[in-house]
Amino acid sequence: MQTVLRKASKLVGLTLITLLCVTGCKTVSLNNFCDLYTPVYSKQTDRQELRDNINANNAVYLELCEEQ
């Protein structure tokens, strides 16, 4: 019985240490999208998928950041 409890407590301890290490390395950006993003312009030689993504990001920028 004690060996089962000992193994369980080791597992719980190892899990807690792992969770503490993972969350200890987390960084949070204090900047917002408008500070970080600069509009990008596509070229005719770009793939259509890339141009669509650029246009979508630029649309978000215009919607959120032009008022500021």
pLDDT in tens, 13-32: 777 677 666 555 556 566 77
d(CA 3, CA 13): 15
Q: How many residues does the chain have?
A: 68
In single-letter form, the type of residue at position 61 comes to: Y
Query: Which residue segment(s) compose the domain that 20 sits in?
Result: 2-65
- This prediction's pTM: 0.49
Most confident listed range (1-5, 14-18, 32-36, 62-66): 62-66
Reduce the DSSP state of residue 30 to 3 states and report it.
coil
DSSP annotation of 20: H
Percent of the chain whose predicted confidence (pLDDT) is above 70? 72
- Structural domain total, the chain: 1
d(CA 18, CA 12): 10
